[in-house]
């Protein structure tokens, strides 16, 4: 496959490739590095990981095996809510960098809000990592409108993105509007709803009309929205190639509207009972 070149979305001086390779839940760890290398061969320049995923080591190995210059690859990682206290947060960042084998990450996120620790404390530790050059940029993940407003108010440095669950089967208008109000980007995890949207007849019909797959159309619908990036996971070379081969066609406004109407299904895929906030009701 000829290498694709993902467009860039930008906020507060951060220039982020719009499609990232997601590295959560590798069922066959022995293939992980090969999959990451293949993603880079196919033109991905953004790799998304987290302490909680257990994939940071493989991401680092994949980057080194690719032979690409470090500065050409955007690396995002996250600090889990178990490490929300300032000292634990700093240790988590150090562990991530050691595990990755990197001097810095391009983007560091608070993975989930932690109600048992003052948000101001966690944000202070997040900003400290940026100040010390351990993270070039910072942001949050799974933050609701009220948490986002509080975070922007209390964080001493700009937050560039909120990584949230967003796909064609969930309406996230309120939190997306909050991100835009604060000049932040939206990054979509589970952008294919773990395969749920791939079976949808509306998406499949539009895909057929374009000679594309349902996954490609579902991802295209997301990135045609302003300042939205996607983090699809893929466990086969063919899926890796498919998910980034989305820059040679455009959806019409009517097609965008047809897919947007599917959001009324309001299917939330990721809502772990032990750490979910009170979601904004759309």
Summarised one tens digit per residue, pLDDT across range 190-231 is 999 999 999 999 999 999 999 999 999 999 999 999 999 999
Three-state DSSP string of 178-245 = HHHHCCCEEEEECCCHHHHHHHCHHHHHHHHHHCCCHHHHHHHHHHCCCCEEEECECCCHHHHHHHHC
For the chain, what is the total number of helices (H) and then of strands (E)? 10, 10
Over range 154-181, report the average pLDDT.
97
CATH of the domain at 126: 3.20.20.100
Q: Is 104 a catalytic residue?
A: no
Backbone angles phi, psi at 249, to 5 degrees: -155, 165
Catalytic residue among 21, 44, 53, 166: 53
User: Does 282 reside within a domain?
Assistant: no
Range of the domain at 134: 15-195+227-247
Residue 127, domain member (yes or no):
yes
pLDDT at 2: 46
Tell me, yes or no, whether 266 lies in a domain. no
Task: Work out how many domains the chain is built from and give that number.
Answer: 1
Q: What pTM was estimated for this model as a whole?
A: 0.96
Alpha helices in the chain (DSSP H): 32-41, 56-66, 86-100, 119-131, 145-154, 173-181, 201-210, 214-223, 237-244, 253-260
The reported pLDDT for the residue numbered 282 is 60
pLDDT tops 50 at residue 237 = yes
């Amino acid at each position: 496959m000829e290498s694709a070149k993902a467009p860039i979305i930008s906020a507060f001086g951060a220039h982020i490739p719009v499609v990232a390779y997601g590295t959560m839940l590798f069922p066959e760890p022995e293939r992980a590095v090969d999959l990451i290398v293949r993603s880079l061969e196919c033109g991905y320049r953004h790799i998304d990981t987290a302490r909680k995923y257990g994939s940071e080591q493989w991401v680092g190995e994949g980057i080194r095996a690719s032979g690409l210059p470090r500065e050409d690859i955007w690396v995002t990682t996250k600090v889990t809510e178990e490490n929300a206290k300032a000292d634990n947060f700093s240790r988590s960042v150090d562990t991530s960098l050691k595990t990755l084998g990197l001097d810095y990450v391009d983007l560091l996120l608070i993975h989930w809000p932690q109600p048992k620790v003052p948000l101001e404390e966690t944000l202070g530790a997040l900003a400290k990592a940026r100040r010390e050059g351990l993270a070039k940029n910072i942001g949050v993940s799974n933050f609701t409108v009220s948490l986002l407003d509080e975070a922007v108010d209390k964080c001493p440095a700009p937050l560039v993105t909120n990584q949230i669950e967003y796909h064609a089967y969930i309406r996230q208008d309120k939190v997306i509007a909050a991100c835009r109000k604060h000049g932040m980007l939206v990054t979509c995890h589970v952008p294919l709803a773990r395969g749920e949207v791939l079976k949808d007849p509306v998406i499949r019909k539009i895909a057929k009309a374009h000679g594309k797959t349902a996954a490609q159309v579902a991802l295209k619908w997301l990135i045609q929205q302003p300042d939205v990036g996607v983090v699809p996971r893929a466990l086969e070379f063919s899926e890796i190639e498919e998910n980034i081969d989305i820059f040679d066609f455009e959806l019409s406004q009517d097609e965008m509207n047809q897919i947007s109407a599917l959001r009324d299904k309001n299917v939330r895929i990721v809502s772990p009972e032990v750490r979910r906030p009170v979601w904004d009701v759309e």
